[in-house]
Structure 1
Amino acid sequence: MNIHHLELFYYVARYEGISEAVRNIPYGIQQPAVSVQILQLEEDLGTKLFNRRPFQLTPAGAKLYTFIQPFFSNVEQMGEEIRGKAGQFIRFGAPNTALRTHCLALLKAMRKKVPNLRFTLHDAIEPELLGLLDQDDIDLAVTVLPPKLPVGTSAEPLLKLPLVLLVPEGHKLKSAADLWKRDKIEEPLISLPPIESITRNFQQGLARLGVEWLATIMVNSVDLIEIYVANGFGLGVTVHIPGVKTHPGLRRVTLDGFDPVVVGALWRGKPTPLIKAFVAEMKLMAVSL
């Protein structure tokens, strides 16, 4: 059976006639077209489904209408429910540090604006988040913006984060310039992988200074950088995130002349109203930091 023919029969049976059905079908279709397709349905089933004048379903027509009525009568309602739920659900991705701090405040604020808000959270680093967006596994990401956006991806810059060195509180280093003066930097460097913007900007800054200092230890989160610096494994390169305290026993050393990284929101395709609302809230939060 042709599903479209069944849909037309549903309207004919519900409104007790073809002419009345045509006036209530939610899309444009002419009466002759409905008549032809109903005849095709009757031919396919090998039986008459209703008497025209006066309108009355045959036993076969009544049986068929009883079968299809629950589905077609609820199609529009289901569409509204799905559209409504889609407008309240978002798949959100960000690095662990962001999820624990500013994203938590963001989600609290959004729940006040969207009381039935539902979400899933994905903890991932910058390159992984771009991949999750590309594969349609998340709707919105907050991370360091890459130098070049993938085709189809849009971004809203939110704030710039300056690069800093993390050193143990008791370390003798007073300024980064003291390191650059050395013939060789002996302290091990702890950093994110080379593909990360923080590492890339740091190494580009070193190159401009004519300094070579490659990572001895690579980790996949700024949280781990703090932990390993605090435990005496070396010095770490990271960013200063407003409102986020460093691990106890550490202090920050500014890196003048090094390009900051830009954190922003990323999404693919046309943003939904919910994505727009999230981005607007993030912009408000960024201004207050």
Structure 2
Amino acid sequence: MDPHLLRTFAAVARHGSFSAAAHELGYTQSAVSQQIAALEQDLGTPLLRRRPVALTDAGARLLEHAGPILLRLSAARADVTRLSGAPAAAVVLATTPFAAFRAATLVAVQRAMPRVTFTLAVAGRDAVATGVATGAFDLGLVDGVAAPSDPLALPDAGRLATVVLAQEEVVVAMPRDHPLAGRRSVRLADLADAAWIDAPEAAVPPAQLRALARADGFRTGPAYPGTDRAVLLELIAAGAGLALLPASRTDGVPVAEPRLVHRTELVHGSLTPAARAAAEAFRRPS
């Protein structure tokens, strides 16, 4: 299967339009139509219905495969480019909102390497991991909640190294007037009937809470797709719902069962000399 044809198909499916996909990819609309036809001929089945554009069952299944395949191809290209390229004069570090980012570490590395420009970006967990894999970021700090022995769930983006930088207990962040606010600890399953803010980039979403607690419930409250910690905490304080967060970032009730930790990991692929120096600095105990 030609990856160029697959990329074109994914663009058409994402936009629901041949013309919009052509604009994104820099092709003519006719060229996009020809590429889709060539892919359909190769696979022996229609992938898209025309007028209006919609996925067939086969097209929907192919789209499920297309994302991981294209991500791995982009990651492979970025990894090889980093290994074969000239020393970079810039390093981009991306971090999730609740990662244990140490500003002093980055400042110290910048002072030690004055000719290298360091840029800090804030994004969601998947965006950080994907950006590191595809070369948009040189280093990433990602965080999340998991059982102590389980890895953080990251996109399948190829060969990425992960190093645990920090680990701490988690708490249920809730309004001060919540009936359980004064408890010393709580079982996660005891809060299955509560509403939880659906903030996948800043907190544990309800679907993952069900898996962690091995219990049904965990009603979805307001959806917050952003990454701003202050906004999330304001929503909690206003009574919009609960959230599972690292203990160092907010007041809350510790989770006694199941045993969970909030972990920050450094994520990277092949490293330029400047990025390697920054990575080694972050690995050192603070």
Mark yes or no: TM-score above 0.5.
Answer: yes
Contact map agreement 1:192 1:222 (CA 8 A) in 2: no
Instruction: Report the residue type matching 1:139 in the other structure.
Output: D
The 5-angstrom pairing of residues 99-114 of structure 1 reads 102-114=101-113
Instruction: Report the residue type matching 1:214 in the other structure.
Output: R
Runs of 4+ in 1 over 6 A off after TM superposition: none
Question: How far has the Cα of 1:176 moved from its partner?
Answer: 5.2
Distance 1:201 1:276, change over 3 A: farther
TM-score, L = length of structure 2: 0.56
Contact map agreement 2:129 2:155 (CA 8 A) in 1: no
Cα distance in 1 between the residues matched to 2:212 and 2:98? 24
| Aligned counterpart for 2:219 among listed residues 214, 221, 224 | 214
Distance 1:124 1:179, change over 3 A: closer
Question: How far has the Cα of 1:228 moved from its partner?
Answer: 0.4
Number of residue-to-residue matches in the alignment: 188
Q: Work out whether 1:156 is the aligned partner of 2:163.
A: yes
Distance 1:132 1:263, change over 3 A: same
Question: How far has the Cα of 1:142 moved from its partner?
Answer: 0.7
Distance 1:188 1:228, change over 3 A: same
Residues 167-219 of structure 1 show CA distances to partners (whole Å, capped at 9, x for unaligned) of: 1223231255377457x62x4211422x8884465332221xx3521321232
More helix by share: 1
Q: Secondary structure at the match of 2:217?
A: coil
Percent identical across equivalent pairs? 16
TM-score, L = length of structure 1: 0.55
In structure 1, the residue matched to 2:186 is: 177
Distance 1:203 1:261, change over 3 A: farther
Q: Work out whether 1:239 is the aligned partner of 2:234.
A: no
Instruction: Report the residue type matching 1:260 in the other structure.
Output: V
Consecutive unaligned residues in structure 1, runs of 5 or more:
1-81
Question: How far has the Cα of 1:134 moved from its partner?
Answer: 2.8
Instruction: Report the residue type matching 2:255 in the other structure.
Output: L
Cα distance in 2 between the residues matched to 1:91 and 1:179? 37
In structure 1, the residue matched to 2:124 is: 125
Question: How far has the Cα of 1:143 moved from its partner?
Answer: 0.6
Residues 34-85 of structure 1 show CA distances to partners (whole Å, capped at 9, x for unaligned) of: xxxxxxxxxxxxxxxxxxxxxxxxxxxxxxxxxxxxxxxxxxxxxxxx956x
Cα distance in 1 between the residues matched to 2:203 and 2:164? 14
Contact map agreement 1:153 1:267 (CA 8 A) in 2: yes
Q: Which has the larger radius of gyration?
A: 1
Distance 1:121 1:275, change over 3 A: same
